[in-house]
Amino acid sequence: MKRGLLSAGVVAAAFVALSGIAWLVTGNGADQSGAAAATGARRVIYMSAVEYKGGTDAEPFPAATAPAGGGYIIKPPDANGRWETSTYRWEPGVVVANQGDEVELWIWGVNGAQHPSTIEGYVPEFTVTRGNLTVLKFTADKAGTFRITCHAHPPSMEALLYVIP
Amino acid sequence: MPKIRILFIFGALATTLTVLGVATLGSDRGEAADPPKIIYMSAVEFKGGTDAEAFPAATAPAGGGYVIKPPDANGRWETSTYRWDPGTIVVDKGDDIELWIWGVNGSQHPATIEGYVPEFTVTRGNMTVLKFNADKEGIFRITCHAHQPSMEAQLVVMSEDAQANDTPTATPTKAPSQLPQTGGAPDDGGSPATIGVIALAALAAAGILGLMLKRGLQGDSSL
């Protein structure tokens, strides 16, 4: 019965092979792209320190005062009745890394002279200045959301670093 | 030999199921029922300047993404950076995406989306619409090659696991894939392809078991 055995073997092998192919085709196999995959990947993230500005002479000056701290600015009406407001922000306000990534945050200062800052859980102290690049390097070894805070422009100049587990 | 015959029947069944499973893969993805998720972006340049701070000694990285203009007659110098806005966008794996990108600053932005869009160009005052299915999870770079290195955003495609933990938000039209499915749409665990794969795996195991049994019996009879 050698032939029978051989046939059975071939059929069994075919089962396994077909299952494997189907498994791969359905995307359950290792089909993640290089960008998504393994931990330890270098990930450069670009940010900038910005101030969004607006103003008008056609709306009444707000009665409420802005929260203190430097992050929100209200300038009273000038001789022509135009008043202005602005807010300091990190841009983008949310950045994402995978846990284990070797992160490089490249932060360019556009508005504001000085931004003395911290990244909760990751970077105890750094300062971004206008016209200069600040590069922060760290391993994103903790999953979660972490605040990127400028202490010269609270409360608004705060972004979220989201580390995906 | 009845056992051999049974194995062949298993084989025929497995082949049929495989063909069926592969054939239904198409309908498993990109279900026509959900409208595409539209995400709005723009190509912008953030600008600043001062006459009260010293002109930076360091030079900006090359590539066009960072601009520094030396002091003018009044001592005012300026800096700017080209960016995609927002710099991070998030979608669910499997979503049909439409990226609507408006050009505000900069005349031309020849660009790519890693893993998704090999080539596109955004021009000032024009809308560029990119359509694709977010079929790969991970973080992918949206890169303008004319404004390096800063004009790079993140496309984050969340895994199915992460989606399962999501709760529908107050803006259902923006997240149709996260809403409860109605009317017999296949869920993750019961799609034809998944059933096919599970059946195949079971059959493969049965086949191997049969083979081992057969070998075992022959071994016994030769004693």
Q: Are A25 and B24 in contact (CB under 8 A)?
A: no
Pick from A103, A104, A99: nearest CA to A38: A99
Cα B77 to Cα B55, B72, B156, distances in angstroms: 7, 6, 36
Strand order in the sheet with B66-69: B66-69, B77-85, B37-50, B96-103, B127-133
CA distance linking residue B61 with residue A11, whole number of Å: 61
Burial B21-60 (b: 16+ CB within 10 A, else e): bbebbeebeeeeeeeebebebbbbbbebbbeeeeebeeeb
**Confidence band (pLDDT; 50, 70, 90) for B188?**
very low
**pLDDT at res. A40:** 84
pLDDT of residue B48: 98
Specify whether the backbone of A108 is left (phi greater than 0), alpha (psi in -120 to 50) or beta: beta
Note whether A29 contacts B: Cβ–Cβ < 8 A: no
At A5 the pLDDT is: 56
Q: Give the pLDDT of residue B162.
A: 74
> What does pTM read for this prediction?
0.68
Q: How many angstroms from the chain centroid is the CA of residue A34?
A: 19
Q: Which two tokens stand for residue B144?
A: 């303008």
Cβ distance of B61 and A133 shorter than 8 Å: yes
Confidence of residue B169 (pLDDT cuts 50, 70, 90): very low
Question: ipTM surpassing 0.95, yes or no?
Answer: no
Q: In the prediction, which pLDDT does A19 show?
A: 52
Window 31-90 of B, Cβ < 8 Å to A: 46-48, 50, 52-53, 55-56, 58, 60-61, 65-66, 68, 77, 79-81, 83, 85-88, 90
For chain A, how far is it from start to end, CA to CA, in angstroms? Answer: 55
Give the residue ranges of chain A where pLDDT is below 50: 1, 20-37
Record the tokens describing residue A97, joined without a space. 């890394």
How far apart CA A2 and CA A26 sit, in angstroms, is 36
Segment B161-188 shows an average pLDDT of: 44
Interface touch B87/A12, C-beta < 8 Å: no
Q: Is the pLDDT of residue B177 over 60?
A: no
pLDDT tens-digit map of B61-93: 999 999 999 999 999 999 999 999 999 999 999
Query: Taking CB atoms and an 8 Å limit, are B211 and A7 in contact across chains?
Result: no
pLDDT tens digits for B2-50? 665 665 666 555 555 555 555 455 444 544 557 999 999 999 999 999 9
User: Of B150, B154, B116, nearest to A160 (Cα)?
Assistant: B154
pLDDT for position B161: 80
Domain boundaries, chain A: 42-57+66-164
Q: Which residues of B touch A143 (CB under 8 A)?
A: none
Give the CATH fold of the A42-57+66-164 domain: Immunoglobulin-like (2.60.40)
Token code pair at residue B181: 């499915």
Distance CA B3, CA B9 (A): 10
